[in-house]
Structure 1
Amino acid sequence: MTTNAQQPIPVIIDCDTGVDDALALLFAVRHPGIDLRAVTCVAGNTDVDGVVRNTLTVLEQAGAPDIPVARGAERPLIEPARSARHVHGVDGMGDLGLPVPARTRVDVDAVTLLRREILASPRPVTLIPLAPLTNIALLLRTHPEVVRNIERIVFMGGAVATGNATPVAEFNVWHDPEAAAVLLTAGVPITMYGLDVFQRVVVPGTDVRRLRDSAEPGTRLAGELLAHRDPATSGDPTPSGGLGDAGAVCAVADPAGIGTRLLPVEVSLAPGPTRGQTIVDLRPRPGESEIHGGGREQALVDVALEVDVERFVKLYLATVERA
């Protein structure tokens, strides 16, 4: 997972395009070390049709090549969809009044496109889910043969410490905990880019203002997205802006920017206040539960615990300002 190789990394992004997914797409299409082969859409920040529209809009504004975009699951495996429009706006992408895209999605569903592009890639694909993991779970259960051509899954989701959907659960995992549990059994290397690093990478207000003043549409869009604020916290004339999901794509382009530990992780599926929690075992040795035979087999995941904020901010700015 390095851009020092002669060829760019083949990447597929699965997203629920709200504000920070859009930032991630802008970065992915402009970074020379990333070959974005497809984008699949799932309900999350907004409904799945809104996600498709937002995704096509971002790719168009960025001047991206003809990247296939597919519509995926419109609800989690078990529970109803629960959007985050209160954060991302009514349209799911900051209510910026962007024009309706001329691009259209492909005529196959997300799982079909994922299977097709993964198996067709001449090099193993890095899969970057930035959304609830419903599409990915359906893919892994329907077409398990795809794992032979997946290099790694780098997903934005989960938290070691504090959640945002609940005190302990992060939104993407909380939205579809069963799908997240399926992901952890994928049988390929997995990196968890969770809230512990997600919330720390913030672009200073002066840089946001410069992006917003750009004459180039994709660069300007990045600035407008970074300046977007939850209505409850708006009012800053030169707001800083969190990269959010885009940090996970930065971690694929520049894996040395994060510090990870290989740790046991499981998802709480029980009803109640812990549902959707990613339980990350940080203990240096087994506890009484394991000693007395109560331990469970857990997935081993590279969990991001540290991030070089300045490095990722510089990387992001240099990339999205690349016309």
Structure 2
Amino acid sequence: MTGRPIPVIIDCDTGVDDALALLFAVRHPALDLRAVTCAAGNTDVDGVVRNTLTVLEQAGAPPVPVARGAERPLVEPARAPRHVHGEDGMGDLGLPAPARTPADVDAVTLLRREILASPRPVTLIPTAPPTNIALLLRTHPEVVRNIERIVFMGGAVATGNATPVAEFNVWHDPEAAAIMLTAGVPITMYGLDVFQRVVVPGTDVRRLRASGDPAVRLAGELLAHRPSAPESDGDDPAGGLGDAGAVCAVADPAGISTRLLPVEVNLAPGPGRGQTIVDRRARPGGSGIHAGEREQALVDVALDVDVQRFAKLYLTTVEGIPGPV
């Protein structure tokens, strides 16, 4: 490894693939996981806290502080996708209750404390609806000076999953997403266009599930649960990395291809609510000329991903196989 580890904070709604992201972040030597904050999303916020502590415990992580955050989006009620992540948010795997306990501060307080205390600018990795991030940026705008970048899992250039045009994290709290995108922090959008492509082959998933290492075995069980995997390998289901790909993109940014593009979140009621409108035109039309009148941001949008590179990176990291980082 060259250079010092990147200080990162993950804001999550753990969540099967958020759990995969945490396992990777704990084990990658180029990442210094300084804190984890929790928001309602894949399950209720108390379930998110419990799941997060369980994953960190299973991973043998150091005593990373974990804080409870937003119970619901800024405007609308919480809407957990239990059909995807199960009743407990973790695929109903029956994992043991954690012995670890959360921090005695709320998520926004922990975010502010850890960002300002870091000797180097922090990279924020939201893999949840960005409610906590929006509250932080509105309440404590001074943190912007010590944020290197936000790499968030959310949005889509093409097709959504919560609706035909909206991805779940942004759809769940579009107002929060709009605040995050326009806060003046460099942002990378790891959206559904790349999210859905990174798949671990079924033979590898089976190997992980047979491991004697609890963290590796958990990664295998989580990957086997992923219902969004677009293909299978014989009797062994392939597993989509999902949110974990955003953390891979922080550890290995060369694995994605991005383009700096104007992005706007649709906040209007109706079927387009929560859509990330990404302007890929070579030159703006009439609406683009007046874009300064709207809440529009320039974002590094991930348009392509090296699937095999990220799958290999994930496997070698979680399994503890030495290699370049």
Give the TM bin, normalised by the shorter chain: over 0.9
Distance 1:295 1:31 in 2: 40
The answer to whether structure 1 residue 304 and structure 2 residue 302 are counterparts is: yes
Matches within 5 A, 1:10-159: 10-159=7-156
Distance 2:159 2:142 in 1: 35
Q: TM-score, normalised by structure 1?
A: 0.95
- 1:137 partner amino acid: A
Distance 1:229 1:140 in 2: 32
Alignment correspondent of 1:182: 179
- 1:52 partner amino acid: V
Shift of 1:289: 3.1
The answer to whether structure 1 residue 209 and structure 2 residue 223 are counterparts is: no
The answer to whether structure 1 residue 241 and structure 2 residue 244 are counterparts is: no
Q: Where in structure 2 are there 5+ consecutive unaligned residues?
A: none
Deviations 1:70-109 (A, max 9, x none): 0000000000000011100111001111110000001100
- SS of equivalent residue, structure 2 residue 236: coil
Distance 2:7 2:231 in 1: 38
Deviations 1:218-255 (A, max 9, x none): 00000000000449x99974110000000000000000
Distance 2:6 2:207 in 1: 29
- 1:81 partner amino acid: A
Contact 2:16–2:226 (CA under 8 A) maintained in structure 1: no
Alignment correspondent of 1:269: 267
Aligned residue-pair number: 318
C-alpha change, 1:218 and 1:266, in structure 2 (3 Å) is same
The answer to whether structure 1 residue 259 and structure 2 residue 257 are counterparts is: yes
- 1:32 partner amino acid: P
- 1:257 partner amino acid: G
- SS of equivalent residue, structure 2 residue 76: coil
Distance 2:137 2:91 in 1: 32
Q: Where in structure 1 are there 5+ consecutive unaligned residues?
A: none
Contact 1:86–1:230 (CA under 8 A) maintained in structure 2: no
Q: TM-score, normalised by structure 2?
A: 0.95
Distance 2:186 2:231 in 1: 39
Distance 1:28 1:290 in 2: 38
**Among 190, 195, 199, which residue is 1:193 paired with?**
190
Contact 1:211–1:220 (CA under 8 A) maintained in structure 2: yes
Deviations 1:101-126 (A, max 9, x none): 00000110000000000000000000
